[in-house]
Structure formats: structure tokens, C-alpha cells
Amino acid sequence: MTVRRPPNPVGGALSSVGLVGCVLLTGCSSGGDDGGAGSAASSSTAGAPTPAPTTAASPSAAPAYELPSSCAALLTLGQIDDALGSPLPGETTYTVGAAEPEIGRTGRITCGFGAAPATDTTGAGSPLLELSVFTYRDAAAAADRVATTVEAQQSRGARSEGAVVPGADAVLLTAADGATLVATVAARTYSLSMVPGVLDAASTPSVMAGLMGQVLAADGPLPTGSSAPAS
């Protein structure tokens, strides 16, 4: 299987509906209870040892999810090359998007893989493969946004079909400008887009589902204040 750059790269597939944002070329860069006045003093029978006080274990708080600080924390170039069967040409970009309270979105990051580097006469090219992670205020907001996106794309002629990605609700959208796989996990969504010509149409759905599965396996809740591995 040979990966080739299309002669006229199309910007991230289906990015116009807001699920896949535009990408800027950057380097892959968020005490115990006291006794109180009414406590009774402990006593012991002569010769018997005084029981040691016991302390109840306090439950630890669930770690808060943080958006990854690098693309390699989600998907490595080695994983992409293995899935495509050939090295993906171009550079990797990492972009942090702004929150959009009007649709319940609290954050976004986008990774572009296979972006043509900028030259003295031209700007950076669009990536061949684009991965975004979106966080929402709750699971209902995430699901509503996916439903809105699917409906909008179907109205533009895109084909929608269910996809199998373990641990997520997933849908594959296929249009003239490429394919986008959207997976929803709790209050966040993952969007993986591929432009036409990178793979043949028959193998694109299974390869994208496999890559998304690796993304979900790598990405998980991080304790507040910690950071993802550097690329």
C-alpha cells in the first residue's frame, strides 16, 4: 500500500462544520474528624494493651481530564506509518483552539499529520491526516454537537454510517473532500479526517477505525496539573 500526496491537497476533510478546526503550522508543543467536646476518653483493663486508633481511608478524587499537550500523546508517527503501510510525508502541527460556550465546547486541540512545510513563496499546506479532540461541559452537549454535525453533512450530500470503535459511539462521514470518523466518549469527542488519495476507498474505513482505537487507548484522564508526554 503506497501513501501518496494528492496533487491538490484538500484542507482537513469536513472541517467547515466546526468539528475539525483550521491548523496553524507549529511545533508539536491545564483533615480527619476531630474528637469534639463530647468524645469519651479511651480506657483499658489493667494489663491489657490499649487498642491502636484506626483511621478511615478517605476516597481519592477522580482525576480531571486534560487535553493532551502534544500530538505524540495521542498518536505517534510510527503508528500512522504502520497503519498506512508507508511513511506519511510532511510535518506535524499542533494547535490549541478556543472554547465555544455557545455550543457547550470547553476546549479543543488539533493535530495535523503530513502537512507540507512552508516555503519562501507558499504557506504551509493542509495536512493529509487531521486529528482533533473536543471537550464539552457534559456528555449531552457532546452528543448534541455530533448529531448537529451529522445532520449538516448529510444535507450536503455526505454519506453517514456507523463505525466500530471499542469504548465509543462512532460514526463515519464520507464526502467528496474526504472522510471523517467521529467518536464520542463521555463529554468529549474525537475527530479523525483523511483527505482523498491517501488510501483507496475500500481500506479507508478500517484503517481510520484502527487509528481511532489507538487514540482512545492512549488518551485518558490525567490528574489536574499533570501534562502529557512530550513529543
212-223 residue pLDDT tens: 999 999 996 543
Question: Does residue 172 belong to any structural domain of this protein?
Answer: yes
Question: Does residue 49 belong to any structural domain of this protein?
Answer: no
Residue 37 has pLDDT above 80, yes or no: no
Question: Does residue 163 belong to any structural domain of this protein?
Answer: yes
Q: Report which of 20, 108, 112 is spatially closest to residue 66, judged by C-alpha positions.
A: 108
- Mean pLDDT across the chain, nearest whole number? 78
Question: Does residue 3 belong to any structural domain of this protein?
Answer: no
Give the burial class of 93: count Cβ atoms within 10 A of its Cβ; 0-12 exposed, 13-18 middle, 19 or more buried. Answer: buried
Instruction: Give Cα 26 distance to the centre of its chain.
Output: 18
Give the best-scoring range by mean pLDDT among 37-46, 124-133, 181-190: 181-190
3-state secondary structure of 142: helix
Task: Give the angle 229-70-7 at the CA atoms, nearest 5°.
Answer: 140
Number of folded domains that form the chain: 1
CATH number of residue 176's parent domain: 3.40.1000.10
Question: Does residue 1 belong to any structural domain of this protein?
Answer: no
Question: Does residue 2 belong to any structural domain of this protein?
Answer: no
Q: How much is the pLDDT for 223?
A: 38
Question: Does residue 39 belong to any structural domain of this protein?
Answer: no
Question: Does residue 9 belong to any structural domain of this protein?
Answer: no
- Domain extent, residue 92, equals 15-27+67-218
Task: Return the amino acid letter for 106.
Answer: T
What angle, 0 to 180 degrees and rounded to 10, lies between the N-to-C axes of helices 204-218 and 77-84? Answer: 160
pTM of the predicted protein model: 0.71
Say if residues 127 and 12 touch (Cβ distance below 8 Å): yes
Q: What is the DSSP letter of 168?
A: S
Angstrom distance (rounded) from CA 22 to CA 129: 12
Q: Which long-range contacts (CB under 8 A, 24 or more apart) does 36-39 make?
A: none
Q: How much is the pLDDT for 56?
A: 54
Task: Identify the weakest region by mean pLDDT among 18-22, 54-58, 171-175, 200-204.
Answer: 18-22
CA dihedral 171, 12, 80, 192 (to 10 degrees): -20
